[in-house]
Amino acid sequence: MKIITDERCAGYSSYGHPENPRRVTATIAHLKQPMDLPLAWTAPGEVSDRQILRAHSPEHLARLKIPEDFDADTPFYENITNYAHASAAAALDAWKAACNGENVFSLMRPPGHHATREQAMGFCYLNNIAIAALEALATGAKRVAVFDFDVHHGNGTEAILLNQPGVAFFSIHLYPFYPGTGGANIGKNCFNYPVTPGSPRETYRATLAQALADLKKFKPELVAVSAGFDAYVRDPLGGGALEPEDFHWLGQSLRAPGVPMFSVLEGGYSRDLPELILAYLKGVEEK
């Protein structure tokens, strides 16, 4: 299992914000403890403007350098454009590793799935998973599936990938809930699996199982995963019902089709995040 990370992604923060550096630093510390899952650590490379501009407008790239907050949840930080670039580069590296037959996880921040073509929002600045999926399509992939199990709808990914040929987007999330989208399927290729807030774990699992079955029917040659861990029952922002073993099962299930697959970290704000990520990685490795 390859882990793509860089401790420098812990270099920005604002007091009290749930998307904090500890999410990554505590996970790195947890994964570096002696254990039975062998890990190879690597730092992200580079992402070009050409690659980013498949998913975002030039105006958006320029906006990331202007020192004004994007919304109440999404502050401007000094050098946030560099942090966002590194996180996008890690997603691209994860895709490349997957194409080489490796199991791989991008352990970076900021997350990306709420960022639209034109707008940073919901703690997200560049849409890492969309940038990687569009790069895969631009370099010859014919059937790319993006699977998003973050408890919030991946509105940015959906908006960017809507009706793009060769890619399908599957998102399971609470609805109605932030960001307010994802109540139904849209376009030719965006499939939403809303779960009513307060639903029991069995309902959440059954909905996930339906989404996974539909993903399999799509017969992807590449699976790109927006791995958010905020559907965890004890997540402070979530409101989902999943337990650690559910993330293990998700890892196993997403790996099961046997096609190249990579995951990038989205949300997940509980102190148990390191354990949840490890459970998921063990699932991926076991197949």
Residues with catalytic function: 114
190-198 long-range contacts, Cβ below 8 Å, gap at least 24?
190/158, 190/161, 190/162, 192/153, 192/158, 194/153, 195/240, 197/239, 198/239
Tokens of 252: 């196993």
Per CB under 5 A, which of residues 131..150 are in contact with Zn ion? 150
C-beta closer to Zn ion: residue 2 or 153: 153
Angstrom distance (rounded) from CA 163 to CA 266:
23
96 or 152: whose CB is closer to Zn ion? 152
Among 56, 63, 152, 153, binds Zn ion (CB under 5 A): 152
* Site map 91..130 versus Zn ion, x via CB under 5 A: ----------------------------------------
Smallest separation, CB 123 to Zn ion (Å):
8
Q: Determine the interface stretch with Zn ion among 10-18, 100-108, 124-132, 152-160 (rule: CB under 5 A).
A: 152-160
CA distance 186 to 163: 9
In the complex, least distance from residue 272 CB atom to Zn ion, rounded to whole angstroms: 15
| 2/109 with CB nearer Zn ion | 109
Among 102, 85, 82, 83, residue whose Cα is nearest residue 42:
102
Q: Pick from 251, 267, 274, 283 the residue near Zn ion by CB under 5 A.
A: 267
CB of 5 to Zn ion, least distance (A): 19
Cβ at position 178, least distance to Zn ion in Å: 8
Question: In the complex, what is the shortest distance from the CB of residue 97 to Zn ion, in angstroms, rounded to a whole number?
Answer: 24
**Is the previous residue joined to 179 through a cis bond, with omega within 30 degrees of 0?**
yes
Which of the residues 225 through 264 are near Zn ion (CB under 5 A)? 228, 230
Q: How far apart, in whole angstroms, are the C-alpha atoms of residue 50 and residue 281?
A: 31
> With respect to Zn ion, which residue has the nearer C-beta, 93 or 150?
150
Q: Are 111 and 266 in contact (CB under 8 A)?
A: yes
Q: Which is nearer to Zn ion, 267 or 274 (CB)?
A: 267
**How far is it, in rounded angstroms, from Cα 141 to Cα 151?**
28
For the chain, report the end-to-end CA distance as a whole number of angstroms.
Answer: 12
Residues that bind Zn ion (CB under 5 A): 150, 152, 228, 230, 267
